[in-house]
């Protein structure tokens, strides 16, 4: 059974953002926290009006629309989901942003390399790339990024000490929720970066502790709407599996067994990185 847009709308916030939010206070709404995460990505990417931004894994289009609304830049997003593509295109049309935002149904390896992007953003997509293709992913980013460009990556991570065993074995998430998925370790990310690109790391931040409240809110929304889930054709077993998924993952982040990193990549010699013309200013942080 296909997990439709209607299904995800049951537990996600109104922006349909399916990634870690950033909270300031315990009782903050999911919608506000997701907006803060989006703002943080925009600040870290230093997006300007004259930029062309590429998003690898554009989901339902919420990040694309917010970036363009805030900066006026040109934006291209790619997805492998026809459901997401149709939804995102509908939202862009409703917002009157069709002249600034383009969504493509394609794999990251199919993006024409003749176009260079000033910024690349990828938020919790690389988990679907797989261990074997991590080098390919960074090689594509290298070929697509402008010489003085920035690449901002957000991803869920597993500790290096568990990575080799984890990637060779199955678990509940791989079996029932994300078949074929593979959470990279931070070392696997940096290894692929150095092997397949000239990219270097400008900033690393672990926002994983914010995933616990994100997942708890998804779980609460999900369980509060069981009748709507059943009406979509799912059964009680499916509901129990997904409730377990939310709680299982929340426990991983609560115990700091899992992390969620935001990394800003650039290239050596990029002299356009000073924030607010202050070379001593730090990059934005959660």
* CA pair distance 12, 219, nearest whole angstrom: 10
Query: Per the confidence metrics, is the pTM higher than 0.85?
Result: yes
Is 243 a member of any domain? yes
Exposure of 228 by Cβ count < 10 A (0-12 exposed, 13-18 middle, 19+ buried)? middle
Q: Is the pLDDT of residue 280 over 70?
A: no
Phi, psi of 260, deg, nearest 5: -135, 115
Is 274 a member of any domain? no
Is 257 a member of any domain? yes
Dihedral of the alpha carbons of 132, 133, 136, 138, in degrees to the nearest 10: -100
Is 272 a member of any domain? no
Q: What is the CATH number of the domain that holds 185?
A: 3.40.50.150
Q: Based on the structure, what is the number of domains in the chain?
A: 1
Is 275 a member of any domain? no
Q: What pLDDT band is residue 1 in, cutting at 50, 70 and 90?
A: very low
Catalytic residue among 20, 140, 182, 249: 249
Q: Could you confirm whether 249 is annotated as catalytic?
A: yes
55: helix, strand or coil? strand
Is 273 a member of any domain? no
Note down the domain range covering 208.
Answer: 5-14+21-266
Is 78 a member of any domain? yes
Q: pLDDT digits over 258-278, tens only?
A: 999 999 999 999 887 765 455
* CA pair distance 14, 37, nearest whole angstrom: 15
Is 280 a member of any domain? no
């Amino acid at each position: 059974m296909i997990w439709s847009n209607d299904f995800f709308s049951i537990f996600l916030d109104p922006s349909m953002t399916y990634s870690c939010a950033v909270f300031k206070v315990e009782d903050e709404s999911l919608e506000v926290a997701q907006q803060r995460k989006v703002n943080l990505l925009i600040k870290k990417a230093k997006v300007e009006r004259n930029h062309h931004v590429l998003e690898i894994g554009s989901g339902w289009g919420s990040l694309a629309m917010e970036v363009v609304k805030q900066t006026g830049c040109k934006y291209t997003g790619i997805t492998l989901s026809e459901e997401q593509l149709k939804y995102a295109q509908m939202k862009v049309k409703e917002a009157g942003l069709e002249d600034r935002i383009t969504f493509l149904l394609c794999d990251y390896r199919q993006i024409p390399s003749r176009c260079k992007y000033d910024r690349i953003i990828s938020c919790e997509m690389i988990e679907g790339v797989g261990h074997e293709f991590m080098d390919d992913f960074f090689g594509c980013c290298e070929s697509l990024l402008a010489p003085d460009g920035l690449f901002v990556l957000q991803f869920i991570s597993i500790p290096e000490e568990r990575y080799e065993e984890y990637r060779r074995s199955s678990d509940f998430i791989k079996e029932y929720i994300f078949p074929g998925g593979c959470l990279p370790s931070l070392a696997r990310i940096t290894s692929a970066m150095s092997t397949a690109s000239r990219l270097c790391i400008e900033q690393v931040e672990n926002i994983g502790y914010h995933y616990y409240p994100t997942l708890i809110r998804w779980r609460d929304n999900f369980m509060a709407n069981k009748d709507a889930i059943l009406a979509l054709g799912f059964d009680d077993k499916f509901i129990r599996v997904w409730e377990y998924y939310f709680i299982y993952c929340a426990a991983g982040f609560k115990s700091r067994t899992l992390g969620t990193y935001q990394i800003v990549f650039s290239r050596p010699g990029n002299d356009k990185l000073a924030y607010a013309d202050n070379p001593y200013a730090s990059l934005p942080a959660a």
